[in-house]
Structure 1
């Protein structure tokens, strides 16, 4: 029996129960001194020696063996590897010396490990970004946990790769599941990274070169296209979006005939970002032919019954997808709108993006137009369409589009939009927080001024004896956790006073606990609130009328009105994880946190 078969047998026994399906006979005959060391260890776990104190029930034996196999796999053992060695086994060379130091604060390291093990992604990304900016790496005891997180989250790898250190890259080369982290040393030159690095490392190199020397990066990619498979070509071609210009047009035109459908579609999307490219001129010509004005001068759109054969080369599929339910005409229109430069609409129809939204309401093709505009926005990222995107995206996923659009604005412009939203939606605090959280790029935070306003609003809503608004559902929990992520780090003590202050021994102690870094209004409100929480109850007035008893429904409503999201232990743990780690990183690297 091979290692892979033995591993499968363990899994099957674990799924149906060792009593119903005993483990494989090859593992059940005791320890075989002639078997490989890994199999002997599994056999020993299944059948401990007579003088062992370990429980020997079938279930306990199976759990021990499964745990041991999992540890083997984590350390690089491949259950399916059954190779007969021709000679003596040669240990791999040791990892190179580390080029970066690791944090030496034990408390900070404990918080970092907790964040790596329990997340969420936002906290992990922010932590890794700060560590990378500080020129440091993860300590060796966190590398395995970090590699596992990177295996599960492709997005996290962007922040993880710079802080894995040489030990992390070395481990990545030994375990296929961590191959994304394997590659060359930090000090390697670009040519070595391009030749020997992982796809993620080559993408990072290409994007970096596009910032400084777009022509050199384009030449590097073009020279290697024939050697790359489709999965490698796609992310590297997507890197051309950095500093995209008309100099890239010849290469992108050539990629319209690439053997990979994904690469062809991406090339067409990038060409649509160049409004004067030959591709864009062809597409806008087809779009213009579908537009006409009626007797009142109102624009109307009428897509054709079928597409032209030459459309296919420019990224337009003539037959509807199996998931499309709008018919052939709507399918063709949506695709052409996706590839039409957004500036075409404002120039040709003479309307602003919001006026185009109103115009689409009166069209028979409203859905196709809006779906096409939304898709075009995902790669054209025209900031003039932000308000229109919010209107169109109420029923669609905007978690990636809005941050990307907001990133096109300057810092003050983004801040002004957030302030306007916050003031406009004061009566809908949870919705306002969600809107801001969607617009804050990952790993960034609100300004201190807006953070002060937000913390004050939260204290008004949640800091009294009664809760203002509906703070019992998932939406409220998500909003509060978003605040822990985006509030300026200097305002975190005041934010944390929402759930920490009532545990103080006196109102004065609570106010002092939150005074550092908090606005005076927060401290005053906390003191007043805790005076009510902690003060002695007033003596009942003998002459007063007896209280009217509440019905069960009224009592339940009253109790729910007093509940806060952090009454849930899991929510409280997540809030504490955010606050403690962010404050610890701020104290360790104050200059970097100030720039976040």
Structure 2
């Protein structure tokens, strides 16, 4: 509307620098300002009329058809207490707890009240992780809203078993379709992935390899070998990671063959030569070889706990240990993960390596780290522990935090622990024991969060 734009421009510049062009205004406005000499008065009158027009000046609609009604949804609404808690979650803006709440509801036969859907859709618009569980609990009313508001179109996603989702769906829909098909019909999923692979953007190719990671198997070797030559570094790295999970691959064997002449043991010393290369290229090649070679390659030099503690000559020891850690993560080798954690318990590779361990070993190792590391170091490590946590790990961490005194880093770790421990840990004594009057604010917040989460599960049971 040019008349409005002209009016706003005049108001911003001021009537001393610019006079409203009356000829550009609607005839009705021209008549109202025609007899007024003061430019400022003309501007204010025009603004009053145009503002009213923009708000209510609309001709009656004709041939109006009523909007279609949303399909019936026979599922019951969440219970009253859960509905009240949803309102508190939305008002407090806790997206992590809201995500957990929606996940609980998605696993039940309930749906959310329709009046809460606009706020939930707005929350999901800015936090994509909420969209999947919201789609499950919103039902047909959510789909109806999504068809009428482009910002909420993720609520009106087509059924992901339809044949055209892979060709025309959003990235999230295609990821879900691929994950489901890899589990139900692997042949169809791999055929679809191969048919569109060359036409996908680099970030999408890397993302799809991440979906394949949970279903990778021996017959994927040729496909992954081809991905090793991809022009995108992220795709190459992900392909190498997945190949590392497969035993006895040609790629792993070739890396071991290239690594063999570079490694020699001399007593308690491990001599590792850096491949030739300029400007650090040799070190990069060494990292690639060690990370990709099967960890069984090192058996001839000793057991893992012994090899990782040897004196290293010929290359930086940190490069070798980091590459071993990468190999242990790729190959999910628990013995090497334990050895590397034991050799450098406070190292930056310790948190991801803990994710390789079995639940019992993980909890035991964390208990060992608690006794070896300073409180500050362990508190920092808590933030980086891979999730989801097991019951054993959650219990060990709650036991640790219960023994701590007031400390800034401990209080930060308490926030993480309160929100990350699994549901099986929510009846820990920390949540059920009455606090004393001198309890610190972080301890009260910890207890409140644990109780809040426990009540969430109880209300939806």
Of 452, 457, 460, 1:580 maps to: 452
| Contact 2:355–2:386 under 8 Å retained in 1 | no
The structure-2 alpha-carbon separation of the partners of 1:121 and 1:251, relative to structure 1 and needing over 3 Å to count, comes to: same
8 Å CA contact retained: 1:180, 1:200: no
Q: Unmatched 5+ residue regions in structure 2?
A: 13-20, 26-42
Greater mean deviation of Cα atoms: 28-37 or 146-155: 28-37
**Does the residue aligned with 2:248 lie in a helix, a strand or coil?**
coil
- Is the partner of 1:394 in helix, strand or coil? coil
**Residue of structure 2 aligned with 1:495, choices 417, 421, 430:** 430
Equivalent residues of 1:138, 1:163 under 8 A apart: yes
Q: Does 1:328 align with 2:281?
A: yes
Following superposition, the deviation at residue 358 of structure 1 comes to: 0.9
| SS in structure 2 of the partner of residue 292 of structure 1 | strand
Provide the rounded CA distance (Å) in 1 between the counterparts of 2:158 and 2:307: 51
SS at match of 1:358: coil
> Cα deviation per residue 1:522-574 (whole Å; 9 max; x = unaligned)?
xxxxxxxxxxx7xxxxxxxxxxxxxxxxxxxxxxxxxxxx551347xxx63x7
Deviation at 1:172, TM superposition (A): 5.0
Match of 2:75, SS state, is coil
Query: 1:108: how far off?
Result: 1.2
2-side partners of 1:358 and 1:168: how far apart? 58
Residue matched to 1:474: 409
For residues 365 and 335 of structure 2, the distance between their equivalents in structure 1, rounded to whole angstroms, comes to 17
Structure 2 residue aligned with 1:394: 346
Segments of structure 1 that go 5 or more residues without pairing to the other structure are 14-24, 44-87, 307-318, 321-326, 462-468, 503-532, 534-561, 590-596
- Find the counterpart in structure 1 of residue 195 from structure 2: 223
Query: Please, what TM-score do these two structures have when normalized by structure 2?
Result: 0.72
Per-residue displacement from partner, 1:195-252 (whole Å, max 9, x unpaired)?
Answer: 4432112212212222233333211211222443333332223222223122112222
| Distance in structure 2 (CA, Å) of the matches to 1:378 and 1:269 | 9
Matched, 1:342 2:295: yes
- Per-residue CA deviations over 1:309-342 (Å, capped at 9, x if unaligned) read xxxxxxxxxx86xxxxxx3332322233333333
Match of 1:305 in 2: 276
Partners of 2:138 and 2:306 lie apart in 1 by 50
Instruction: Show the counterpart of 1:132.
Output: 106
Change (3 A) 1:147 1:280: farther
Match of 1:107 among 67, 81, 98: 81
Three-state SS of the structure 1 residue aligned to 2:387 is coil
Q: How many Å separate the matches in 1 of 2:92 and 2:413?
A: 16
State the distance in 2 between where 1:89 and 1:249 align.
Answer: 62
Deviates more, 1:249-258 or 1:157-166: 157-166
Q: 1:367 aligns with which of 308, 314, 318?
A: 318
Alignment of 1:287 onto 2:259:
yes
Return closer, same or farther for 1:161/1:151 CA change in 2, 3 Å cut-off.
Answer: same
RMSD over aligned CA atoms reads: 4.6
> How many Å separate the matches in 2 of 1:292 and 1:115?
60
1:565 equivalent in structure 2 = 441
TM-score, with normalisation over the residues of structure 1?
0.58
1:47-446 aligned at under 5 Å gives the runs: 97=71, 101=75, 103-116=77-90, 118=92, 120=94, 122-157=96-131, 159-169=133-143, 171=145, 183-185=157-159, 189-294=161-266, 296=267, 298-306=269-277, 327-345=280-298, 347-352=299-304, 354-359=305-310, 364-388=315-339, 390=341, 392=344, 394-396=346-348, 401-402=352-353, 404-406=355-357, 409=358, 414-415=359-360, 417-419=362-364, 421-422=366-367, 425=370, 441-442=387-388, 446=391
For residues 349-382 of structure 1, give each alpha carbon's deviation from its aligned partner in whole angstroms, at most 9, with x where no partner exists: 3321x33321265664212112223334444433
What are the Cα deviations for residues 454-505 of structure 1, in whole angstroms up to 9, with x where unaligned? 767766x4xxxxxxx432313234226514642655753842355x555xxx
How far apart in 1 are the matches of 2:146 and 2:350? 34
Compute the displacement of 1:120 (Å): 4.8
Distance 1:35 1:484 in 2: 50
User: Do 2:274 and 2:283's aligned partners in 1 also have CA atoms closer than 8 Å?
Assistant: yes
2: distance between equivalents of 1:114 and 1:180?
24
Q: How does 1:10-49 map to 2 (within 5 A)?
A: 30=47, 40=55
- Structure 1 residues 243-279: Cα deviation after superposition (integer angstroms, max 9, x where no partner): 3122112222233344444323322332232242222
Name the CA distance, whole Å, in 2 between partners of 1:392 and 1:89. Answer: 75
Q: 1:362 to 1:147 in 2, by over 3 A?
A: farther
Q: Within 1, Cα distance between the matches of 2:349 and 2:63?
A: 52
User: Do the aligned partners of residues 162 and 291 (structure 1) sit closer, same or farther apart at CA in structure 2, a change above 3 Å counting?
Assistant: farther
Q: Deviations over 1:10-58 (max 9, x none)?
A: xxx9xxxxxxxxxxx9998525659995xx48x9xxxxxxxxxxxxxxx
Partner of 1:69: none
Partners in 1 of 2:322 and 2:66 — Cα distance? Answer: 53
**Residues 1:198 and 1:247: Cα distance change in structure 2 (over 3 Å):** same
In 2, Cα distance between equivalents of 1:97 and 1:146: 20
Structure 1 residues 417 and 335: alpha-carbon distance in aligned structure 2, compared to 1, 3 A threshold: closer
Counterparts in 2 of 1:363 and 1:170: CA distance versus 1, 3 Å: farther
Task: Please give the alpha-carbon distance, in whole angstroms, between the structure 2 residues aligned to 1:90 and 1:402.
Answer: 63
Aligned equivalents of 1:291, 1:496: Cα separation in 2: 53
Shift of 1:344: 3.1
Structure 2 CA distance, aligned partners of 1:243 and 1:259? 24
Whether the 8 Å CA contact 1:291–1:300 is kept in 2: the answer is yes
Distance 1:228 1:475, change over 3 A: same
